[in-house]
Structure 1
Amino acid sequence: MGTARVLGAALIALGLAAGPAAADSSPSPSASQDGRGPTRAGTSFRTATEIEQGQRATATASTGDYLYWSFPADAGQRPTVRATVKLPGRHAAQTWQLDVYDGLRRRQACQYGAQTRTAAPGASSVELACVLRTVRAWSEPWADDPLPGTYYVRLTAVGLPAADRGLPVGAGVRADSADAGGAAAVDGSLAAPLVPGVAAKSVQDEGGSPDPAVLSSLEPADGWTSGWWSDRWVWTAAGGLLAALAGIGGYALTRGAGRPGRVPPGA
């Protein structure tokens, strides 16, 4: 009975530890219930329109324009950016490209997804996607790892024929993230997230003159964690508890309860 009780307690402890880890692996919740976002796009890094993860931003533009959006991404997240371009009725073959840059404006490679696609003549739309590497809480200065902070999305057509320049198009962009959990945790953190982007929504003061530009105002719903917490702590604590329970169980099994004592020599 004692051994069964020990094993039962171990299984319960393992289940409690696995609960938070399973929750962390689910995608981040949407920023709003309907997921609707801004209806415009910036034309440069400095004027990139801010969106939250889970929002779908839309914009009307012309072929040949550069469209920019920005969103926050924290340590342990693996962002996925998707874009849809609605094309005019008549057009030649068009190649569209989706690029993602970090807070230092370094272009980040896509692990998965069609980052560049060519729409056939007369096609009604083209879809692109980019799955980034997991954002790390800390990295060597010379490395090109994704770090916590603002990420920029740039959408544009490349190699356009002259006849297609200026045609009206509609664009939609959405950024989501999945939590990579403790497997992506590192021993270190940044002093501050990389958020050098300038917000496009600068307001005017009472006199009508624009306020000074401000740093990007968006951040994750739970704030910047910078990697101080991960489910690796849960599994470490669970492993220590299981080791202690295993030691108690092993002692109970090898103690030999009810074994007769040794008979003294010469008795």
Structure 2
Amino acid sequence: MKSTKNLITVVVIATALISCETSKKESTTAKVEQSSEKSSSETKITLTQAPPSTQFPDARLTKKDVKMSNQDTSYQVDYSFDVENFEVGAQTTGAANRGIANSSKGQHIHFIVNDGPYSAHYMPGASDHLKAGNYAVLAFLSRSYHESVKNKDAFHLENLKVGDVEEKTIDLSAQHMFYSRPKGTYSGADTKKVMLDFYLVNTTLSPTGNKVRATINGEEFMIDKWAPYYIEGLQKGETTVELELVDAKGEFIEGPYNKVKRTVTLK
């Protein structure tokens, strides 16, 4: 009987030791996987100026007309534009070789109301539904890969009064910055390089003058040239981009749209 009890005790102890060793191995494996995930998440974010694009020095965007119709709780607003020396709907030369998101519908117009996200329009016009109020409306020409055409005639900015409201306008002669890209959701190869682009009115950037402070997932970059930039090193999931127009001392330049924060998704 004692021999049987001793044998049972040995078996129990051996089983416990095997279970303990197995638990240790599982614990070690879990720690290695967690460490690997942490290392992966520490990939450095970089911001570099994009290579030169096809230029459109003579491109011109001019408002032809704007019509508004009351639709109960909102107004249908329809813009029509004249576009010169720029083909809306065409693919921009070299688009396939830039390695960034590109619209299969071609070149277009970015249409921005106040500091909202742009809508893309592939005909020389734009439409929106707006409630009664006062709005700043910006439209500018865009390459097929959503890079703005940055010349003095390629945009239109105005105050728009919708409905019967007291007129309240922004100072169109002041310094303004409008956010453009990145926007929405990126997937597959488009997540490797994400373009950052914005539109400036009545201001310039320089190493000794105004700049744009870009904060990407908490990392700060100072931009001293008005140009498109490529963001690389982003992880899958949500990315937060904040832009601020600042002066030579790094102080925020007051303006209704000179500071904006957006979130985009990479998957």
TM-score of the aligned structures, taking structure 2 as reference length: 0.30
Structure showing the higher strand proportion among its residues: 2
